[in-house]
Amino acid sequence: MKIVALSKEEFDDFAYNHKYSTYYQTSSYGDVSKYDGLNTFYIGFVEDGNLVGATLFLYKTIYLYYKYAYAPRGFLIDYTDRKLVKNVTKGLINLLRKQHYAFIKIDPPIICSERDRNGNIIYFSNTVNGILNYLQETGYRHQGFNKYFENYKPRFIAFANLQNDLKTIYAKIDNEAKKIIEEATNAGVEIVQDKDGNIDELYKFITIKNKRRKKRYYRGMYNNFSINNKMDIFFINVNTDKYLNNMKYMYDKESINNEEYANLIQDTSIAAREKQTIINNKMESDKRLNFYKNELIYATKLSKEYPDFITIGAAFTIKHNKGVELIIDSYLEEYLKFNPRYVLLWELIKKYKQEGFMYFNLNAVVGEFTKENLGKFNTLNNIKLKFNATVMEYIGEFDLVINDRIYTKFKEKIEKK
């Protein structure tokens, strides 16, 4: 086993078609990581003159001259090949010990299971236990089968399959989600793709959700991934005229219904039992009418303040290989009543299906599937899984310790950053 330095071009050529190919293992992502204060290097694993593996490493000094390295989403190797895993590990320890690395972290996208929206296992890998056991035997310390966001990257990811025709994809979406999408669209929620790289506007929304990273990080994302049209930015608007007109329509429609119920109540020819049903319907209509009245007042005010539209959210995606990943979407909390995320997810599913991608990565969910255990993550899981998403459970994080004393002393400090 030889470990060799790779140029960015050599690395990308190998990484793109690998089984575990991911945008995290690209030179573009490596270049972006410098905005997080991380350095990079690219190495390949060579056996008998053939490149059998590679990885991007992000690294940082943690104490004096000691460093740690992170291979985002793991090495690009065949983890079922025990000899290869052993040789790669031995070679890395020998190489990185000389360069004063305390430990290596990996989190390969090795699938443990696939689950449906209710958490039921629909597939379990027959190789994952063997891989887990051998990695541990080889010296990797598994960080556990956590269910939330304890790791660098989430263990549970929701994927929407785009390989069926659009009609079939839509048919499999939860009926409640379809209704919400229709109502939100009628209320004026619109998704607009940005063509100008408006990072300033995007960042205003990102900071609602993630204040850790600075604007330069996202500008770096755009500069690196937009070169080959790999990054899309979207803004979520409410068309205030459409919203106002819709509320007028709904209010007028309910007013007519309400008046009909009122007239029926006065009709002495209707039997008492039937009349009670009418009274109950009238009471429900009163509630709806009051709701639409308040919405109409609000829509009128909003239309005056924002005559054309108001931007209530933003999102961006990264396209890689055969799929697309939703990196982040964020909204002004006061406008969540419009249910913008439902419209965003459906519009992106349509867009990327039409562009020929095979899957849409809706990103992280948590590994709990009952309302009682979901807690504050109920909305996160509930919305994404309504889109007939399959949940992939990954194997998790591993630390390969090279210097136990430094690792023990500084691991917790590193994890908090």
Q: Is the C-alpha dihedral spanning 349, 341, 203, 239 positive or negative? A: positive
Q: Are 53 and 77 contacting, i.e. CB atoms less than 8 angstroms apart?
A: yes
Type of residue found at 120: N
Q: How far, CA to CA in Å, does 416 sit from each of 30, 100, 157, 410?
A: 21, 22, 22, 10
Q: Give 19's Cβ-side CA count (13 Å radius).
A: 13
Same fold, 2-111+125-145+395-415 and 157-240+308-393: yes
Class (C level, CATH) for 2-111+125-145+395-415: alpha beta
pLDDT score for 371: 75
* Per-residue pLDDT in tens (0 to 9) along the chain, 417 residues: 899 999 999 999 999 999 999 999 999 999 999 999 999 999 999 999 999 999 999 999 988 889 999 999 999 999 999 999 999 999 999 999 999 999 999 999 999 999 998 899 999 999 999 999 999 999 999 999 999 888 889 999 999 999 999 999 999 999 999 999 999 999 999 999 999 999 999 999 999 988 889 999 999 999 999 988 999 999 999 999 999 999 999 999 999 999 999 999 999 888 888 989 999 999 999 999 999 999 999 999 999 999 999 999 999 999 999 999 999 999 999 999 999 999 999 999 999 999 999 999 999 999 888 877 677 788 888 899 999 999 999 999 999 999 999 998 887 666 554
Q: Is the C-alpha dihedral spanning 76, 78, 82, 83 positive or negative? A: negative
pLDDT score for 357: 98
Type of residue found at 254: E
Distance CA 363, CA 325 (A): 7
Structural domain boundaries of the chain?
2-111+125-145+395-415, 157-240+308-393, 245-292
pLDDT score for 376: 76
pLDDT score for 379: 82
pLDDT score for 243: 97
Q: Are 39 and 58 contacting, i.e. CB atoms less than 8 angstroms apart?
A: yes
The CA-CA-CA angle for residues 412, 369, 314, to 5°, reads 70
The CA-CA-CA angle for residues 43, 49, 54, to 5°, reads 25
pLDDT score for 414: 63
Distance CA 75, CA 53 (A): 7
Closest to 315 (Cα-Cα) out of 261, 234, 251: 234
User: Would you give the distance in Å from CA 100 to the centre of its chain?
Assistant: 35
Q: Where are the alpha helices (H) located in 74-158, listed in sequence order?
A: 82-98, 128-137
Q: Are 394 and 184 contacting, i.e. CB atoms less than 8 angstroms apart?
A: no
Q: What is the DSSP letter of 383?
A: H
Q: Which residue has the tokens 């965003």?
A: 344
Q: Where are the alpha helices (H) located in 17-81, listed in sequence order?
A: 27-32
Q: Are 12 and 26 contacting, i.e. CB atoms less than 8 angstroms apart?
A: yes
Pick the CATH number of 157-240+308-393 from 3.40.630.30, 3.30.360.10, 3.60.15.10, 3.30.450.30: 3.40.630.30
In this structure, the number of other CB atoms found within 10 A of the CB of residue 269 comes to 5
Residues 6 or more apart whose CB falls under 8 angstroms from that of 152 comprise 70, 72, 105, 107, 397
pTM metric for this prediction? 0.92
pLDDT score for 367: 86
